[in-house]
Amino acid sequence: MRLIIFLVIYAGIVYAKQVPIVINTWAFTDSTQAAWNLLKRGGDAIDAVEIGCMTCEKLQCDGTVGFGGSPDENGETTLDALLFDGTTMNMGAVGALRRVKDVISVAKHVLINTGHSIVVGSQATEFAKRMGFTEEDLTTDRSKKIWTDWKNNRCQPNAWLAVLPDSNTTCGPYRPVQENDVYYNHWTHNYPHRRTREHFQRHSFSTNNHDTIGMIAIDANGKIVAGTSTNGMSHKIPGRVGDSPIPGAGGYADSKFGAASATGDGDIMMRFLPSFLAVEELRRGSTPSQAAWTAINRIKEYYPSFFGGIIVVNKQGEYGAACNGMDSFPFSVASQANEKVTVKRVTCK
């Protein structure tokens, strides 16, 4: 009997050492620190993820989070974000948000102040203004130069497939390919090296151009929250929304089991709901590392060279990660066990 009591107490000690915890994708340590500072004072997991992602937005982490990065084909920066509460199973998200900087905070207002899950585009801007946010231009000199250089490079790379432009340049507007079309025959006759798919360079994802922040926090009460923030893919077709604000894709949480958050080629990754799959694997008894690799390998079956990574944490605060299409995937952690923010790495298989 004494042995049983000891084991129960010991298990409680292990739990206490690991939680609270915050973990996020990439070496965005300022964001980790901001979230951890709140958690260690007894703060709520939703507020921790908000302030963590907000820090990254203000710092414009690697140019792929927040304003002034990843301009679309019109040169405009638009933003996506998600907050998912694993205790209430409620969420708030925004997609293709225009002209408002604080996208994670707008997502929080969707969570708290509406019965909806996601609002998008210009209507999301109007919602944000009603919630007290400022409308402003998100363009910077840096993002303007990225867009100008892209235009000067014949609008390459881009996300179009099986289309041709309505001019003798590679910039749009575009129209679907019709092989019996006079214009198609004219184009392929005069520009034989410029054909449908081969005519356009596919945008390639790497650690240099796509570093969405995905964050997971567990507070002292065991509440688990996942969140994301990004300005998406460079040179995307206007209106494109990536995986970050999609529940189960960019992030997912269930306080009974754990949470996950993914980053990478969102157009591919969202098709497999990797964050949801990883949490379901935790439900089945997998370790966080096993759950992470199950989610990555599911995508890899169909897209062997895709670029992406995922972080997973269970309710005890144990964590793991997995990746593909890069040498290794860094992520940042701070917890009750080690209050110092630490950057970990997982080697991609």
**Annotated active-site residue in 25, 170, 212, 263:** 212
For residue 197, the surrounding DSSP H or E stretch is helix 196-199
- At 15 the pLDDT is 42
| Residue 3 confidence (pLDDT) | 41
Q: Enumerate the CATH 3.60.20.30 domain ranges in the chain, comma separated.
A: 2-139+210-347
212 is catalytic: yes
Closest-CA residue to 259 (of 227, 284, 229, 307): 227
Q: Report pLDDT for 266.
A: 95
Using DSSP's 3-state secondary structure scheme, residue 92 falls into strand
3-state secondary structure of 144: helix
Q: What is the mean pLDDT of residues 87-108?
A: 98
Neighbours of 40 (CB within 10 A): 17
| pLDDT of 222 over the 80 cut | yes
Residue 269 pLDDT grade (very low, low, confident, very high; cuts 50, 70, 90)? very high
Residue 280: the pLDDT is 98
pLDDT digits (tens, 9 = 90+) for 6-55: 333 333 333 447 899 999 999 999 999 999 999 999 999 999 999 999 99
pLDDT score recorded for residue 5? 36
The C-alpha atoms of residue 70 and residue 46 are separated, in whole angstroms, by 27
Query: Using one digit for the tens of pLDDT, what is the confidence trace for 143-194?
Result: 999 999 999 998 988 998 888 887 667 788 888 877 666 555 555 555 444 4
Second-level CATH architecture of 2-139+210-347: 4-Layer Sandwich (3.60)
Grouping H, G, I as helix, E, B as strand and the rest as coil, residue 294 is helix
Report how far residue 205's alpha carbon sits from residue 245's, in angstroms, rounded to the nearest whole number: 18
* Per-residue pLDDT tens digits for 289-348: 999 999 999 999 999 999 999 999 999 999 999 999 999 999 999 999 888 999 999 999
Chain centroid to Cα 165, Å, comes to 31
State the Rg of the chain over Cα.
22
How far is residue 82's CA from residue 91's CA, in Å, rounded to a whole number? Answer: 7
Beta-carbon count within 10 A of 59 CB: 14
pLDDT band at 208 (very low <50, low <70, confident <90, very high): low
